[in-house]
């Protein structure tokens, strides 16, 4: 039988794991936000230094692979959002996996729980396999 102490310990372990997972998610989110802010600042600096005419001339002369900015910025922001969602999903899945594993460890196996269960009241009849003679059908002659 599980004691209250064991259950409390399992709950504390789950809480600690959740806190660590949340801390990790926050750290990664901060990293991705900083990266996207740096990109935005660079883009803003470019926009501030160049007039609309100069920017369009730059875009016309630019190799399509090197074209700045609005498209690149959107792509980068999309990548960051996708990576953030991916990491959040991975962390949530990992947390769920650990919680399920802990819950399984906290529950006794069905077999041992069945052995520990109190016997039912009244006459308990054990199932006995029928003998070979009674199991065979009567021959029809």
pLDDT tens for 13-38 read 888 887 888 788 788 877 877 777 77
Q: What band does 124 get if pLDDT is binned at 50, 70 and 90?
A: low
| φ, ψ for residue 129, nearest 5 deg | -70, 140
Distances (CA, A) of 65 to 35, 55, 62: 21, 16, 8
Alpha helices in 50-129 (DSSP H): 52-61, 70-106, 110-116
Q: How far apart are CA 25 and CA 22, in angstroms?
A: 5
**Tokens 């801390």 identify what position?**
23
- What is the Cβ-side half-sphere exposure of residue 57, based on CA atoms within 13 angstroms? 5
Percent of the chain with pLDDT over 70: 49
- The answer to whether 36 and 76 are in contact (CB under 8 A) is yes
* Of 51 and 128, more confident: 51
Q: What band does 121 get if pLDDT is binned at 50, 70 and 90?
A: low
Does this model's pTM top 0.85? My answer is no
pLDDT higher than threshold 80 for residue 66: no
Q: What is the CB neighbour count within 10 angstroms for residue 112?
A: 10
pLDDT at residue 39, as a whole number: 72
Q: What band does 132 get if pLDDT is binned at 50, 70 and 90?
A: low
| Mean pLDDT (whole number) for 47-61 | 66
- The H or E element spanning position 2 is none
Selection from 93, 88, 89, 45 nearest residue 69 by Cα: 45
Q: What is the mean pLDDT of the chain?
A: 70
Collapse the DSSP code of 65 into the 3-class scheme (helix H, G, I; strand E, B; otherwise coil) and give the result: helix
């Amino acid at each position: 039988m599980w004691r209250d102490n064991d259950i409390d310990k399992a709950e504390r372990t789950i809480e600690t794991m959740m806190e660590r997972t949340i801390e990790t998610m926050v750290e990664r989110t901060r990293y991705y936000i900083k990266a996207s802010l740096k990109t935005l600042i660079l883009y803003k600096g470019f926009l501030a230094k160049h007039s609309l005419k100069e920017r369009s001339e730059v875009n016309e002369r630019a190799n399509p692979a090197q074209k700045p900015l609005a498209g690149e910025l959107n792509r980068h922001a999309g990548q960051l959002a996708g990576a953030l969602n991916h990491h959040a999903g991975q962390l949530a899945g990992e947390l769920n996996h650990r919680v399920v594993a802990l819950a399984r460890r906290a529950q006794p196996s069905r077999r041992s729980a069945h052995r520990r269960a109190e016997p039912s009241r009244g006459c308990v009849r054990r199932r006995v396999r029928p003998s070979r003679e009674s199991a065979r059908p009567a021959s029809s002659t």
